[in-house]
Amino acid sequence: MTFRRISAFLLLLPLLTACAGDEELSATSVIPVSYTLSTSAAGPITPDTAYSAATFRKLFPNERIDVISTADEDGVVNALTVFADGLQVMMIIPASGGKTIKAVHGSGLAVAGPNGERLGMTFRRSGMSRDDCDVGTGPWLGMAVCTARNAPNVYLVFDNGGWNGSPNELAPSSSLAEGKLRRIVWVPARTG
């Protein structure tokens, strides 16, 4: 997405809002998908992709690759991050030893899940079932961590929809329905 595309979006926003009707208008409804996280890959990243800045620069030749510190289930890690037009798109978390990929976090608006899920989408709109979710721990404490439909290695992380209950319990259906998708996580499915 270039500066021109962002400017065009901002200029057209009032017109789009007027035409939207009952459909909820959001940035993801007009920003095209650049990368999809599916069972087999996270954009151009596959389970066999080595964890290295050089590799990611080849896979994302038009994007900026930077190192950031982030939290995951094991604590604070240095992750390689893909930026497109100055905005974070994906964080690539290294596995222990730093040579392979532990997970890829879809963290930008141009990323979609395997069934078209987009960040900011409500749990209700995603069509997920509460039965496919567990309450998160660590950095996802109190959030719903759900296995994506037909993609057992892709997880959708939803906030609790404003529920003020225990962070060790999954929010009730009525609150979770309003929860927003905050992260899409791909874990490489390795064979052998």
Q: Looking at residues 63-88, what average pLDDT do you find?
A: 89
Q: What is the mean pLDDT of the chain?
A: 86
Q: Does residue 122 register a pLDDT over 70?
A: yes
CATH number of the domain at 51, please: 2.60.460.10
One domain for residues 12 and 73: no
One domain for residues 8 and 42: no
Sign of the torsion angle spanned by Cα atoms 78, 161, 42, 112: negative
Kindly state whether residue 146 falls inside one of the protein's structural domains.
yes
One domain for residues 99 and 69: yes
Q: Does residue 154 register a pLDDT over 80?
A: yes
Write down the residue that tokens 């400017």 correspond to. 7
One domain for residues 114 and 159: yes
One domain for residues 16 and 47: no
Kindly state whether residue 192 falls inside one of the protein's structural domains.
no
One domain for residues 124 and 150: yes
The residue among 111, 110, 82, 75 whose CA lies nearest residue 96 is 75
Q: What total of structural domains would you count in the chain? A: 2
Supply the Cα-derived Rg of the chain in whole angstroms: 17
Q: Does residue 126 register a pLDDT over 60?
A: yes
Going by pLDDT thresholds of 50, 70 and 90, the confidence category of residue 98 is confident
One domain for residues 1 and 42: no
One domain for residues 81 and 127: yes
Predicted pLDDT of residue 164 = 92
Kindly state whether residue 65 falls inside one of the protein's structural domains.
yes
Q: pLDDT for 14-71, tens place per residue?
A: 444 444 444 455 555 568 899 999 999 999 999 999 999 999 999 999 999 999 998 8
Predicted pLDDT of residue 8 = 43
Q: Looking at residues 81-90, what average pLDDT do you find?
A: 92
Predicted pLDDT of residue 16 = 40
User: Are the C-beta atoms of residues 48 and 34 closer than 8 Å to each other?
Assistant: no
Kindly state whether residue 92 falls inside one of the protein's structural domains.
yes
One domain for residues 25 and 36: no
- pTM summary value: 0.83
Q: Does residue 123 register a pLDDT over 60?
A: yes
Domain, as residue range, for 92 = 32-186
The residue with greater pLDDT, 86 or 58, is 58
User: Are the C-beta atoms of residues 171 and 178 closer than 8 Å to each other?
Assistant: no
One domain for residues 84 and 172: yes
One domain for residues 25 and 101: no
Kindly state whether residue 142 falls inside one of the protein's structural domains.
yes
One domain for residues 96 and 5: no
Q: Looking at residues 98-118, what average pLDDT do you find?
A: 94
